[in-house]
Structure 1
Amino acid sequence: MTEQKPPITFRQISQPAHRQITVSLLLAVLAAFLSLVPVIVLVELVRTVMLSFQGEPIDASKLWLLVAALMVATVLHGQATVKSLQVSHQADGLLGEHLRQQQITKLGRLPLSWFTRTPSGTVKTYIEDDVTKIHQLIAHAPHDYSAGVLVPLLSLGYMFVVDWRIGLLGLVPLLLAVATMPFMMREFQEKAEKFKSSQKQLDAAVVELVRGIPVIKVFVPEGYDESIFLSRSRSFGGFYREWLHATVHPTALMKIFTSTGFGLLVVAAASPWLITSAGVPVADVLAAFLLINNIAAPLLMLSRTNIMFSEAKAAAADLTEFFNIPVLPPAAGGREPANAGIELKDLSFSYVPDTPVLSGINQKLTAGSITAVVGPSGSGKSTFAALIPRLLDPTEGSVRIGGVPSTDLRSDQLYRRVGFVFQDPYLMRMSVRDNIRLAHPEATDADVVRAARAAQIHERITHLPRGYDSVVGEDAQLSGGEQQRLAIARSILLDAPILVLDEATAFADPDSEAAIQRAITELVAGRTLVVIAHRLHTITGADRILMLENGEVTEAGTHEELVAAGKGYATMWARYQTAQAGIQGEEK
């Protein structure tokens, strides 16, 4: 089940930055108007000075007033521009922080099934790349679009006010640049979408390549170049070269028509005729020289900004898509479980519609009992385990903790009662002490040490360079079995009445397995234990064993009962014993 809410829009997502964006936009508009003032003042200065060549006296007060206006306008324009960019960058920083906080909250509420079916590269794009790309949208778009649109319009308007022929002169590079733009931007949207899709696929391939380096080094022969990464890399490179080849000539023309040299060349070529034949004053022609590059040149900046803006809009669409992914619905949390019993009632689960992983499961796990779940690979054991602590929600039916559906328990209620030790324990890059304390942040150092002793990991920790202050991954390099015991210490500190172990000894060596088993014995005392078993000899003493096959519980009972029944479990047990005997024989 998922929440049904109106779709979230990017306007809602970006709400914390709206005020700063508005202020930045207003300052950018002011800067655009102020950018024209120095040019107007300079033209009037020249006009005033040139009157002296006609024998008229110079108006000194007007001259000084124009100089003062030039200085003030220049300073104010600089201040408005800087302040606009400063405020927009503050908005970008604020929004980036807000988005990452919201993303962390969102990730915590997403079902485990989303992570299993979503490529790592896509997750990276959502969390890292998209937040970075909207920088252009928030930090630069208000200023760039104001400057790119208003400055050319104001400049052209002033040129027409000065003289209509000067205005027409200003249109020459503008019209030529506009004429080349469709060729430069042809099929841009379609190609931009393909570029984005190809880049996502390449990102995903890079992540998978890095993860799979050990396998590639061992199994991929030297010179083998048909990996997914290289295939996608060639595809991306080929597409990019094709796109560049198609747009290189119109882009070059666009750069020529918007260049300073071309604008000055147009005015210089027309100046003799304007001054001698058309009778346009020199001061007015000077205005053309000063403003011609304000008209077409911003188009090139706008085209570049538009490309980055398109990427930013695509990133904003991605973020909107991410925040609209259905999450596990929140629980009311009005009821408290009566005990540590677990009931799975008419339970079915599918990662993909119409493809059940578990179906029709009805089981009651008594409070304080030990229940083992066994079965062949792909039978749904880990999914079964993930449903109890509500890492997933059932597609049909319910999981009840102490008589209360897990979907009715708030997170704090649920995780006070249910601990989970994963098959592949995740340790954060922090001190060993803080890794154990994750389960109970208020725990004392003495509590942490007691939990580590019970988990059979205290002695190993004391031999680390800085003991409990050693940082995992830096001066605390732990084996798989040691990491598992650290995770068990975390669960001991949590002191939850229900514990789920997902194949906790699957990859442990014999010494580590023995230590883990002692830790588990310490951990499960008085608790309801659900253990996903890979090594069958570890669960022969369980109160109840559930045999999962093709997503269904086909057998249930004690080890002795299931062996005596002579069905699937008995066959699995016989094969396991044979395999173990072979391993022991090889060791001898």
Structure 2
Amino acid sequence: MIKMRLIRLLEGAGKYIVQQIVWQWISLLAEVVIVYNIAHLLENAWRENLSTEGIALTMGIVLLGLGFRFLCDRLYTKASFHASADVKRILRNKIYEKMLSLGPSYRESVNSAEIVQMAGEGVEQLETYFGRYLSQFFYSLLAPITLFFILSRISVQTALLLLLAVPLIPIVIMLVMIVAKKLLSNYFAIYYGLGDSFLEKLQGMTTLKIYQADQAAAEDMDREAELFRKITMKVLSMQLNSTSVMDIIAYGGAAVGIISALGQFSKGAISLSGVLMIILLAAEFFLPMRLLGSFFHIGMNGMKASDRIFAFLDLPEAEDGKAVLEEKEIRISMEKLCFSYEESREILRDVELEIPARSFVSLVGLSGSGKSTIAGILMGKNKGYKGSVKLNGRELTEFSSRSILDKMTMIGHDSWIFKGTVRENLLLGKPSATEEEMKEALRKVNLLSFVEAQGGLEMPLLSNGSNISGGQKQRLSLARALLHDSPVYIFDEATSNIDAESEEMIMEVIHELAKSRTILLISHRLANVVGSDCIFMLENGRVAEAGKHEELLKKGGSYSRLFKEQKELECYSDKNKESSAGRHKESFVETQRDTGMEEPGHMEDLQDKTGEREDTVEEGGEKHE
């Protein structure tokens, strides 16, 4: 049960496996020396031929042999540790390098939960496989042969019987392997499925609570966990049953050898010391193979884990370009661009657009029209497009992913904020940023006063910024992007799901950036794209219209209709707010009148105080959401 590809992949761990085998073999030889001296001591005692010097010499050799075996065990453990450490380091590096090679598009091939389990539990399975199983496999072949040559000098017949009984254990292992192969395939399929399901439900817990579906989700998890428990019990049952059979063979074979030796001793064919050596060493023929059998399930788990890892490492990769994008001003052009997530579902159809350097271009359209897909193609997330996407006249695929990510920054509506501090999150955008640069970035997004009031750059943040508001989280993401200071910025619905005040602040920053950077703005709200140099209206994966805001309104096409619809909805919403505010004011006045609080000048004083509070909030530079 050896996979040569795995051995070749982990060449660095090979020397430690050889060391484990050597130390085990030397320990066996030390045990033979100990047994030989004890057997001769007992024979001399039986013949009444003992001497003080002989006893002292034998005890000295025994103690020296025990000390030598202890040293070999320590060295074996040390080599096992180094082999395991190398395996974890090499495999996790390979998985990480593969993730980098796949780039942002890795989720098209494998889910995040499987990668986490693969790099965690999967690598741990192979740690034991290399740390114990492989060395035991080779030693279990070497030990019986060594003992055969030693004991054949005493009795060839008995040594041959013991040697022939040894292969019965691997035969049992092979039979169990046939049954276990399918069982372990199901085990790992259920195991990875359970992890994926758990992660998905954990991430969507808020949504499940909102729709009161958390109980149903918990019941689903219980069913999946019960299925995993059952198959785990089957695996353990298989392991215990195979262990019992191997015990019967091991100790039965040793008993056969001992009986043969006693029979020859009774006939005078071998000496007392000879039969004692066979009795004391017979079990050593079988114990290494028996121990290998106990590692059998570890070996099988390691094989199945390696199958998953190799399947991931063998995922096809889009060829990464070698060219470096060095220009500080970048123009983008697309010709007959087509893209499909699935063969039957085409997202983009012959898209033609031009984004000049240092221009402000917007993509608009209904949901599903392909706006975010274009952003994903530019950032290297969506591979396998057809047509042409050029940066400064050269095809996008000619450039390395690192070069593209260095020159383009994308800010979405769900940019992730990591657990840690504000400083640590900002340094992701520019690791060498000074404190002044970070504060300036926060000031530009009107977040500096809030951060300083909460402890400054060392302000703690929870996972995904759950201890700050949505608007503050988005502005912090924008500050991080500003520190990245790239020639191209892509804003993919960066102002969605936040308050109007934060949206206005972000749009101000975008317009300021547009003076010196290439800006691609994707927005569902057309009021944000009015000042664009060019607006591309997407419909059904095609560019339906293109031009400035005024030009598109005059055409009276799709853009004009969508803009007017949104304007009417906003006006309707504003009227409702005014009507609601009027009703609240009337109710407030009536309450004042009923309670006798309405006195001359009272309302004016209240309005003055309200105005003072608003001025105070504005001077603070931050409104709490």
Tell me the secondary structure at the aligned position of residue 141 of structure 1: helix
Rate the CA distance shift 1:105–1:173 in 2: closer, same or farther, 3 A: closer
Shift of residue 502, structure 1, vs aligned partner: 0.8
Partner of residue 297 from structure 1, selected from 274, 280, 287: 287
Shift of residue 83, structure 1, vs aligned partner: 1.7
Shift of residue 28, structure 1, vs aligned partner: 2.0
On the 8 A contact 1:28/1:142 being kept in 2, the answer is no
Give the stretch that moved more between structures: 171-180 or 285-294: 171-180
What's the counterpart of residue 97 of structure 1? 89
Q: Is structure 2 residue 372 aligned with structure 1 residue 377? A: no
Partner of residue 121 from structure 2, selected from 118, 126, 129: 129
Q: Is structure 2 residue 547 aligned with structure 1 residue 557? A: yes
What's the counterpart of residue 530 of structure 2? 540
Partner of residue 284 from structure 1, selected from 274, 278, 291: 274
Q: Is structure 2 residue 99 aligned with structure 1 residue 107? A: yes
Q: Is structure 2 residue 10 aligned with structure 1 residue 14? A: yes
Aligned amino acid, residue 468 of structure 1? L
Rate the CA distance shift 1:41–1:123 in 2: closer, same or farther, 3 A: closer
On the 8 A contact 1:134/1:312 being kept in 2, the answer is yes
Shift of residue 135, structure 1, vs aligned partner: 0.5
What's the counterpart of residue 210 of structure 2? 218
CA deviation digits over 1:286-309, x for unaligned, max 9? 223322322333333212323212
Shift of residue 79, structure 1, vs aligned partner: 2.3
What's the counterpart of residue 44 of structure 2? 51
Aligned amino acid, residue 115 of structure 2? V
1:394-413 matches, within 5 Å, as 395-411=385-401, 413=403
On the 8 A contact 2:16/2:83 being kept in 1, the answer is no
Q: What RMSD, in angstroms, separates the aligned Cα atoms of the two structures? A: 3.4
Shift of residue 449, structure 1, vs aligned partner: 0.8
On the 8 A contact 2:17/2:130 being kept in 1, the answer is no
1:122-201 matches, within 5 Å, as 122-164=114-156, 166-167=158-159, 170=162, 174=166, 177=169, 180-181=172-173, 184-201=176-193
On the 8 A contact 1:152/1:296 being kept in 2, the answer is yes
On the 8 A contact 2:145/2:163 being kept in 1, the answer is no
Tell me the secondary structure at the aligned position of residue 358 of structure 1: strand
Q: Distance in 2 between matches of 1:142 and 1:176?
A: 20
Q: Distance in 2 between matches of 1:106 and 1:179?
A: 38
On the 8 A contact 1:347/1:360 being kept in 2, the answer is yes
What's the counterpart of residue 28 of structure 1? 21
Q: Distance in 1 between matches of 2:198 and 2:381?
A: 28
Shift of residue 322, structure 1, vs aligned partner: 2.7
Tell me the secondary structure at the aligned position of residue 302 of structure 2: helix
CA deviation digits over 1:167-187, x for unaligned, max 9? 366469757756754554442
CA deviation digits over 1:333-388, x for unaligned, max 9? 26744833211122222333464322311211122222111222222211111222
Rate the CA distance shift 1:381–1:11 in 2: closer, same or farther, 3 A: farther
What's the counterpart of residue 459 of structure 2? 470
Q: Is structure 2 residue 383 aligned with structure 1 residue 387? A: no
Tell me the secondary structure at the aligned position of residue 162 of structure 1: coil
CA deviation digits over 1:226-285, x for unaligned, max 9? 9654454344334444555667545433345446xx778767877875654566543333
Rate the CA distance shift 1:236–1:304 in 2: closer, same or farther, 3 A: same
On the 8 A contact 2:409/2:481 being kept in 1, the answer is yes
Partner of residue 480 from structure 2, selected from 487, 490, 500: 490
Aligned amino acid, residue 25 of structure 1? V
Shift of residue 191, structure 1, vs aligned partner: 1.9
Aligned amino acid, residue 196 of structure 1? F
- TM-score, L = length of structure 2: 0.81
Q: Is structure 2 residue 39 aligned with structure 1 residue 39? A: no
What's the counterpart of residue 4 of structure 1? none
Tell me the secondary structure at the aligned position of residue 348 of structure 2: strand
What's the counterpart of residue 208 of structure 1? 200
Q: Distance in 1 between matches of 2:328 and 2:433?
A: 26
Rate the CA distance shift 1:99–1:174 in 2: closer, same or farther, 3 A: closer
On the 8 A contact 1:38/1:73 being kept in 2, the answer is yes
Q: Distance in 1 between matches of 2:195 and 2:227?
A: 13
Q: Distance in 1 between matches of 2:117 and 2:79?
A: 26
Q: Is structure 2 residue 494 aligned with structure 1 residue 501? A: no
Any stretches of 5+ residues in structure 2 without a counterpart? 581-625
Q: Distance in 2 between matches of 1:12 and 1:356?
A: 42
Aligned amino acid, residue 439 of structure 1? G
On the 8 A contact 1:431/1:469 being kept in 2, the answer is yes
Q: Distance in 1 between matches of 2:495 and 2:117?
A: 34
What's the counterpart of residue 356 of structure 1? 346
Q: Distance in 1 between matches of 2:174 and 2:484?
A: 64
Shift of residue 504, structure 1, vs aligned partner: 0.4
Give the stretch that moved more between structures: 377-386 or 32-41: 32-41
Shift of residue 444, structure 1, vs aligned partner: 1.5
Give the stretch that moved more between structures: 157-166 or 415-424: 157-166
What's the counterpart of residue 3 of structure 1? none
Give the stretch that moved more between structures: 198-207 or 172-181: 172-181
Q: Distance in 2 between matches of 1:34 and 1:244?
A: 32
On the 8 A contact 1:89/1:138 being kept in 2, the answer is no
CA deviation digits over 1:164-217, x for unaligned, max 9? 454366469757756754554442222222222222222211211211222223
Aligned amino acid, residue 568 of structure 1? S
Rate the CA distance shift 1:171–1:138 in 2: closer, same or farther, 3 A: closer
What's the counterpart of residue 246 of structure 2? 254
Q: Distance in 1 between matches of 2:161 and 2:276?
A: 12
Aligned amino acid, residue 14 of structure 1? L
Q: Distance in 2 between matches of 1:48 and 1:129?
A: 51
Partner of residue 344 from structure 1, selected from 334, 343, 360: 334
On the 8 A contact 2:332/2:392 being kept in 1, the answer is yes
Q: Is structure 2 residue 75 aligned with structure 1 residue 83? A: yes
Q: Is structure 2 residue 522 aligned with structure 1 residue 519? A: no
Q: Distance in 2 between matches of 1:113 and 1:334?
A: 20
Give the stretch that moved more between structures: 189-198 or 402-411: 402-411
Q: Distance in 1 between matches of 2:359 and 2:208?
A: 44
Rate the CA distance shift 1:327–1:455 in 2: closer, same or farther, 3 A: farther
On the 8 A contact 1:111/1:328 being kept in 2, the answer is no
CA deviation digits over 1:108-146, x for unaligned, max 9? 332433314522222223333332222023322343224
Shift of residue 421, structure 1, vs aligned partner: 0.9
Tell me the secondary structure at the aligned position of residue 383 of structure 1: helix
What's the counterpart of residue 5 of structure 1? none
Rate the CA distance shift 1:55–1:114 in 2: closer, same or farther, 3 A: closer
Q: Distance in 2 between matches of 1:290 and 1:89?
A: 31
Q: Distance in 1 between matches of 2:173 and 2:488?
A: 66
Partner of residue 426 from structure 1, selected from 416, 437, 440: 416
On the 8 A contact 1:372/1:544 being kept in 2, the answer is yes
On the 8 A contact 1:111/1:393 being kept in 2, the answer is no
Give the stretch that moved more between structures: 481-490 or 39-48: 39-48
Q: Distance in 2 between matches of 1:522 and 1:337?
A: 21
CA deviation digits over 1:303-332, x for unaligned, max 9? 232321222233333333333333443333
Any stretches of 5+ residues in structure 1 without a counterpart? 1-7
Rate the CA distance shift 1:256–1:335 in 2: closer, same or farther, 3 A: closer
Rate the CA distance shift 1:9–1:376 in 2: closer, same or farther, 3 A: farther
Tell me the secondary structure at the aligned position of residue 307 of structure 2: helix
Tell me the secondary structure at the aligned position of residue 110 of structure 1: helix
